[in-house]
Amino acid sequence: MEYKDYYKILGVKKDASQDDIKRAYRKLSRKYHPDVSKEKDAEQQFKEVGEAYEVLKDPEKRAAYDQLGSGWRTGQDFRPPPDWQQGFSFGGGGFTQGDAGGFSDFFESLFGGGRGSSRGFRQGRTSFHMRGEDIHARISIDLQDSFHGATRTLTLSVPEVTDEGVMKSREKNLQVKIPKGITEGQQIRLQGQGGAPLGDGKPGDLYLEISFRPHPYYRVDGKDLYLNLPVAPWEAALGAKVKVPTPEGVVDLQIPAESTSGRKLRLKGRGLPGKSAGDLYVVLQIALPPASSKKAKDLYRKMERELAFNPRAALGV
C-alpha cells in the first residue's frame, strides 16, 4: 500500500499548530467539496483532505503518525512497523465526522484496527430488521437516448451484509430503461434496487441522476436545444432555404433576408420530446468564403468598390 503524506495533502508544515491544520482543512474542504468544486478530481481530493484531517486534528493520531518518521514519501510502498499501535489507544475506532468507509488502505492499516467487529451485525441477523439504504448514482447518456428512449447498462457497488454479518460492497449490473424526453439532472427512481435489507426489511431504492454526454453540435438547455448554423453571406443577406440537421432528421429552414450573425430562429417542438416538447434554436453564424483564389479576391474587391459599407459606422469612426 502507498504511504500518504498528510502534511503535504493539507499543505502545512510538520510543526503546524492545530489551528493552522484546522484552517488549512477548512479551506481545502471548501475548495474540493464535490457539490461546490469545479475541479475534475474534486471528489478524490476531498476524500484525501478529509482523511488527512482525521489524522492530524487528533493529537494522539498525529503523534502516532509522526512516529512513522519523516523518511517516507508520498506513494512509496508502505507497511506499518511491527510494534505499531503500542502505547496508543485509538484501536477501538470512534470516528467523529469522517466517513471511515471511504478512507485509504494506508489509513485503515494505521487507524482502522478493531473497527470491523463494531460495524458488523453478527447477532442481529435474525431478530433485527432494517430497510436497505437508498443508493444514488449518476448515468451518462447521449442526446439520442432521450429522443428515442434507450436501455443502458450500469455497474453499481451496493452495500450488503454477508452471512457472517459483515458489511461489504458488491458489484451489481443493471439494465435500465431511459425514458423518452428525459432531461439533464432529472432522476429515475428504481424501487427496491438499492441496498439490501437486514432481516425481513425491504430493500432500498436506487436513484439515478441523468447527465448528458456533450454532443458535437447540439447544446442542451433543459428541454431546448441550440445549434450554431453557418450560413453564407448571400444566404443571410438575400434570404434562402437551407438544410438544417435536427436530432430527428434534416429539415428545410427559411432564412429571412437581411439576417445578421447571431440571429436566433426557433424550430418549435424540435427539442427534447415530451408532453410539451422543447424547441430547437438555430443560431445563425455568417461564414466568410475564403479569399484564397484570384476570383474570390476580385469579388471581394468589387464589393469593396461598389458597396458603400462601413461596418464600424455605429462606433462613430
Which residues contact another protein (rule: CB under 8 A)? 26, 29-30, 33-36, 46, 50, 97, 131, 133-134, 136, 151, 153, 173-177, 179, 182, 185-191, 193, 204-209, 217, 219, 221, 226, 228
Half-sphere exposure of 172 (CA within 13 A, CB side): 17
Smaller CB separation from another protein, 243 or 275: 275
Q: Which value, to the nearest 10 degrees, does the dihedral of the CA atoms of residues 71, 75, 78, 84 take?
A: 70
For the bound state, the minimum distance from the C-beta of residue 137 to another protein, rounded and expressed in Å, comes to 12
For the bound state, the minimum distance from the C-beta of residue 269 to another protein, rounded and expressed in Å, comes to 19
Smaller CB separation from another protein, 115 or 180: 180
Smaller CB separation from another protein, 227 or 255: 227
Alpha-carbon gap, residue 228 to 280, rounded angstroms: 11
For the bound state, the minimum distance from the C-beta of residue 19 to another protein, rounded and expressed in Å, comes to 16
For the bound state, the minimum distance from the C-beta of residue 115 to another protein, rounded and expressed in Å, comes to 20
Smaller CB separation from another protein, 68 or 287: 287
Cβ proximity of 91 and 116 under 8 Å = no
Kindly write down the DSSP assignment for every residue of 82-97, as one continuous string. Answer: TTTTTT---TT---SS
Alpha-carbon gap, residue 9 to 12, rounded angstroms: 8
Smaller CB separation from another protein, 240 or 277: 277
Categorise residue 206: left if φ over 0, alpha if ψ from -120 to 50, beta otherwise. Answer: beta
For the bound state, the minimum distance from the C-beta of residue 61 to another protein, rounded and expressed in Å, comes to 20
Question: Regarding beta strands 224-231 and 280-286, do their DSSP bridges make them parallel or antiparallel, or are they unpaired?
Answer: parallel
Alpha-carbon gap, residue 109 to 78, rounded angstroms: 10
